[in-house]
Amino acid sequence: MNDHFYNEVLIDHNLHPQHLHELPCATCSHAGLNPSCGDEITLHLQLENGIVQSGSYTGVGCAISQASADIMLDLIIGRQKEDALHLAELFKKMIAGEISDDELDELEEAGAFQNVSKMPARVKCAVLAWKTLELLLHENG
């Protein structure tokens, strides 16, 4: 019987994160804090020639914040910095409930968070990783 509270993608990334670890080869890191919830993640990236060569996150938080960070890293590793920032824009658009179907396809698994646009109390949790990514990339551009 499937009575999971969140959808399978989110539950799975929360229980079995791929990118929750330290990153010794990181060239930059940035901490993100969601004070209302107490979610805290630190994003680590290895940036070379404008490409996200590898990435990870560390920290603690609710399922939404943790799964969002894990899925984000799946999406951006191997991409150009500009592409990563474009996806961050799309993610925020989705949470604001303003995304088109084509744009939603671009977000791949991150589209699993679309319902968060109907959960105002959890918006900050979902966008924490993406906002941290934007800060990190703008500081290291």
Partner 1 sequence: MNKQDFPIFAAYPDTVYLDSAATAQKPQCVMDAVAQYYAAENANPLRGLYDLSVRATDAYENARTAVRDFIHAASKREIIFTRNATESLNLVAYSWGRETLCRHDEILVAVSEHHSNLVPWQIVSQKTGARLRFLECDKTGTYTEAMLRNALTPQTKIFAIAQISNVFGILNPIREFAEICHKNDTLIVCDGTQSVPHLPVDVQALDVDFLAFSGHKMYAPMGIGVLYGKRELLEQMPPFLSGGEMIEYVQRESATYAELPHKFEAGTVNVGGAVGLHAAIDYINRIGFDKIQQHENRLTALAFEQMREISGVQIIGAPDAAAHHGIITFSVDGVHPHDIAAIFDADRIAVRAGHHCAQPLHQYLGAASTARMSIGLYNDEQDIERFISTLKTVRRRMGYE
Binding segment for partner 1 (CB under 8 A), chosen from 5-13, 21-29, 72-80, 86-94, is 5-13
- Smallest separation (angstroms) from partner 1 to the CB of 28: 25
- Smallest separation (angstroms) from partner 1 to the CB of 58: 13
Rule CB under 8 A: is residue 14 a binding residue for partner 1? yes
Q: How far is CA 15 from the centre of its chain?
A: 16
85, 81, 55, 51: which is closest to 70 by C-alpha? Answer: 55
Rule CB under 8 A: is residue 37 a binding residue for partner 1? yes
Among 23, 41, 55, 61, binds partner 1 (CB under 8 A): 61
3-state secondary structure of 54: strand
Token representation of residue 63: 């399922």
The two beta strands, 28-34 and 39-48, are antiparallel
